[in-house]
Structure 1
Amino acid sequence: MTEEKSFVYILLTDTGTLFTSLIKRYTKAPYNHASISFNKELTDMYSFGRKKPNNPLTGGFVKEDVMTGTYSKFPETTCVIYQLEVTTRQVDKMRRVLDVFIRNGEKFIYNILGVLGVSINEPIEFSNSYFCSQFVAEILNRSGIRLWDKLPALITPEDFRQCKQLELIYEGNLFEFEPIKKHFH
């Protein structure tokens, strides 16, 4: 019996904010935020980022909403979207891992020191503390999906761009992505 195939989506974005501009100046990478979505319309999407769209200083685990969350404040957001073929069993595992984050959302904080750790190639990890690409890599890792030979605490959005297992399905303005346009208009 063959395992049923499914997809998850990795969204990398650049909102053009001061914070992301500072990160970009250092990383030289076009995108500096990573999210994971369980559907192509990006309505079932999660990451570590701003808890309040107008305040970059309050970060943590977030269910992202393209139309009402942080992205809604930045209509010029550019993005790249990849799909990753996975098994339904792997999706079930991801959902179970994600459920721990959802149930304990307030206990998780944004790992700003971890971002600095990446810059010196030294993983800086704290319990209940993640940055965006570390979180996405952690969800994949804990589900048996190993895309890199390094710790999630060293994974950057650029690592997703360089990953051969991910299939590019869109690059451009986030709000011009056809499944979003169809779903919200």
Structure 2
Amino acid sequence: MNPPLLYTASVPVFQRYLRQLGLMLDAAQAELTAGRLSEAQLLEARLAPDMLPLRLQVEIAAGFVLRACAPLQGQAVPPLGTPDPGLAGLQALLQERLSYLDSLVAESFREAELRQISSDAGQAQLQLPATEFLQHLALPNFFFHLTCTYALLRQLGVPLGKQDFDGLHRYR
């Protein structure tokens, strides 16, 4: 039997792109190690003064794993927690979310498309059918924060390209 659609549309996508995010943070660590960037500069970097810093962009992207997958299974969203400080704490957070994803069973997503999911979107409170929740809120927000992280790293001089974002493109 095929895995449920909302499982295949969420869990493998989050797994792939959390791994890519981890690789991007590895590239940032190399810049720290080489002395071309300070950890404080990295973690507090913003694309604009009113945008969140890189550390929160990573935390929020990782948070969408729980915010999406738990309700799709009919479960409450577990506490998101606060990662340990620094780049190492963000890497540990990504590993924790990957372990969570690895623990999920496709069968727990069976009939997920029948669920109505309540979620906040900024200050808005939403009630959406599960498919719409995943396609129009959870995945776009995950990718928004992932993209902000990528853009911040590029702005800071971390040598990344499109191939580092998706792991599929090849230019080298």
* Larger Cα-atom Rg: 2
Structure having the higher strand fraction is: 1
